[in-house]
Amino acid sequence: MAKHKTPLIDQLESGPWPSFISDIKLEAESRAKNEKGLDYQIPRDVCEDLLGVLELSYKDGRTHWKHGGIVGVFGYGGGVIGRYCDQPQMFPGVAHFHTMRVNQPSGKYYTTKFLNDLLNIWELRGSGMTNMHGSTGDIVLIGTTTPQLEEIFWELTHNMDTDLGGSGGNLRTPSCCLGQSRCEYACYDTQELCHYMTLHYQDELHRPAFPYKFKFKFDGCPNCCVASIARSDLAFIGTWRDDIRIDQGAVKAYAGGEIPSNAGAHAGRDWGPFDIQKEVINLCPTGCMRYEGGKLEINTKDCTRCMHCINVMPRALRVGLDKGLSILCGAKAPILDGAQIATLLVPFVKVEEPYDELHDIIGKVWDYWMEEGKNRERVGELIKRNGMQEMLKRCDLEPIPQHVQEPRANPYIFWREDEVPGGWKRDIVEFRKHHQR
Amino acid sequence: MAIADEQAAKDTIVEALKKKKGKTKFYLKDYYKMLPDEKLMDVKRLVNQMVKEEILEYWSSGSTTLIGLKGLGKQHATEEDE
């Protein structure tokens, strides 16, 4: 029988979709049975208490977690996020429930052995619950106690040859798409560059260096599968300088319906037959294409590398041969000053060891931000505050037309203060009636 | 380490922290002001070195990191208005 009655969160299992509540219950059951005979190093009923505190939060309409603290592993200022429950008597299993971030491998390729080894550590020394993966890309291990942190860290670094990720005012765990390992669109080896940068900037990753978080993301092409353009302070996005390669025979085959467009993803129901004029030419954002007399022409000078035509007709169109990357700067998710999409900083760089041009830009951006950035101000907010002109000056870059245009908009909609009962202010005495210090 | 007299710089930081009233944990940026003639990256390295030597300690909210003299001030989560 379950330790806590959870009628509210049980409802989350009633839909047709996978439920994290069912997953937590499975883990709770597994820990109760303990078929492996493990000597659990944190409370065995951690999952049941997690369900209990979640039920209480649904009932109260308020959180019962506190986060932050001095917890961490020796010599590291990141990778561990202290978390405590503010009702420890009711839920002792989650009184201390720290999160550990583990650096994911580039492209998130795993061997079964790696995953088994990781879970063996985490079942013994943590809650057994994971988040694969967090928004930044890390493997997120959810819930352990302070004495286990060093033990887990030792095993990860000595037995599994991996490391903690970033948190706090550090460089966050760099993240990349799977790049040339699987994808013909990739214009550079994202996994190699991501791995190299992770090793090169170890000190910034593990020890606080900045006014706030800083993220690198590496996308092999402008499809941006790791959302570098929307989520990273410095985005490295693969691109090409020459013409899109065109196989006119294949274009005709797409136009004639012999090859399914979008690999057949956009077909069936009322979609109708493929119409190259309507679905490709007219959708080109810069109008740089035409299809006449069975021949496709692209004016490369006007092409913004949006990838739409290539995505629709991948057997007919391929990225150019003169490949490299663009560096964009200043994207962020909402938290403080609203979401921002990244701004182009460097239009094209060849990706060649020892990556001097990349280090040069990274160093200049960091110098400027460390000097001028306010506490908890992302580099994108600094650009907004001081202007793009100043950013370009500090990076020793000449302004070009692409620096000026601003195609971004905030995709998030928030509650307004007058829509929330009580507004943003609260009574701390009333708060303490429900939450212990 | 490019700071010429590392011990003097450490002493400056400790003295500056001891003089602070009220707050006990500070942003890295506050440490730059304690050593205004040094490069920012060098101050960062020195502060992190002082954490390793257990003179200072980190306090992290998960998104932001504060640094203060070891053992002083808040150790766990607190709310903004207390």
- Residue ranges of domains in chain A: 7-159, 175-241+323-404, 245-318
Task: Tell me if A373 sits within 8 A of A208, measured CB to CB.
Answer: no
The residues of A whose Cβ lies within 8 A of any Cβ of B are: 66-70, 72, 74-75, 77-78, 80-82, 84, 99, 167-170, 203, 207-213, 335, 367, 370-371, 373-376, 428, 431, 437
Q: At what angle do helices A20-33 and A46-60 cross, to 10 degrees?
A: 150
Distance CA B67, CA A70 (A): 9
Token code pair at residue A350: 């060849």
Q: Report angle CA B4, B7, B8 to the nearest 5 degrees.
A: 75
Which band of pLDDT confidence, cut at 50, 70 and 90, is reported for residue B79?
low
Inter-chain residue contact B64 with A212, CB threshold 8 Å: yes
CATH of domain A7-159: 3.30.70.2500
Please give the residue of chain A at the shortest CA–CA distance from B78: A437
Residue numbers in A near B62 (CB within 8 A): 67-68, 81-82, 99, 167-168
Residue numbers in A near B82 (CB within 8 A): 428, 437
Asked if the model's pLDDT at residue A332 lies above 80, the reply is yes
| Cβ neighbours of A174 (radius 10 Å) | 30
- Digit-coded pLDDT (tens) for A250-283: 999 999 999 999 999 888 888 889 999 999 999 9
Q: Which residues of A7-44 are buried (b: 16+ CB within 10 A; e: fewer)?
A: eebbeeeeeeeebebeebbebbeebeeeeeeeebbbbe
The CATH fold of domain A245-318: Alpha-Beta Plaits (3.30.70)
% of chain A surpassing 70 pLDDT: 98
B63/A contact by beta carbon, under 8 A: yes
Break chain B down into helix, strand, coil percent, rounded to 5.
40, 15, 45
Inter-chain residue contact B76 with A335, CB threshold 8 Å: no
Task: Tell me if A382 sits within 8 A of A329, measured CB to CB.
Answer: no
Residue numbers in B near A363 (CB within 8 A): none
Those residues with Cβ within 8 angstroms of residue A229's Cβ, 6 or more apart along the chain or in another chain: A219, A222, A235, A237, A328, A331, A341, A342
Distance CA A89, CA A77 (A): 30
CA–centroid distance for B37 within its chain: 17
Which band of pLDDT confidence, cut at 50, 70 and 90, is reported for residue B80?
low
Question: What is the ipTM for the molecules in this complex?
Answer: 0.89
Residue numbers in A near B61 (CB within 8 A): 67-68, 168
Compute the half-sphere exposure of residue A222: CA atoms within 13 Å on the CB side of its CA: 20
Residue range B2-28: mean pLDDT, rounded: 93
The CATH fold of domain A175-241+323-404: Sulfite Reductase Hemoprotein; domain 1 (3.30.413)
- Digit-coded pLDDT (tens) for A230-254: 999 999 999 999 999 999 999 999 9
Residues in chain B: 82
Which band of pLDDT confidence, cut at 50, 70 and 90, is reported for residue A407?
very low
Which band of pLDDT confidence, cut at 50, 70 and 90, is reported for residue B15?
very high
Amino acid A324 reads: G
- Digit-coded pLDDT (tens) for A100-153: 999 999 999 999 999 999 999 999 999 999 999 998 999 999 999 999 999 999
Same fold, A175-241+323-404 and A245-318: no
Please give the residue of chain B at the shortest CA–CA distance from A376: B64
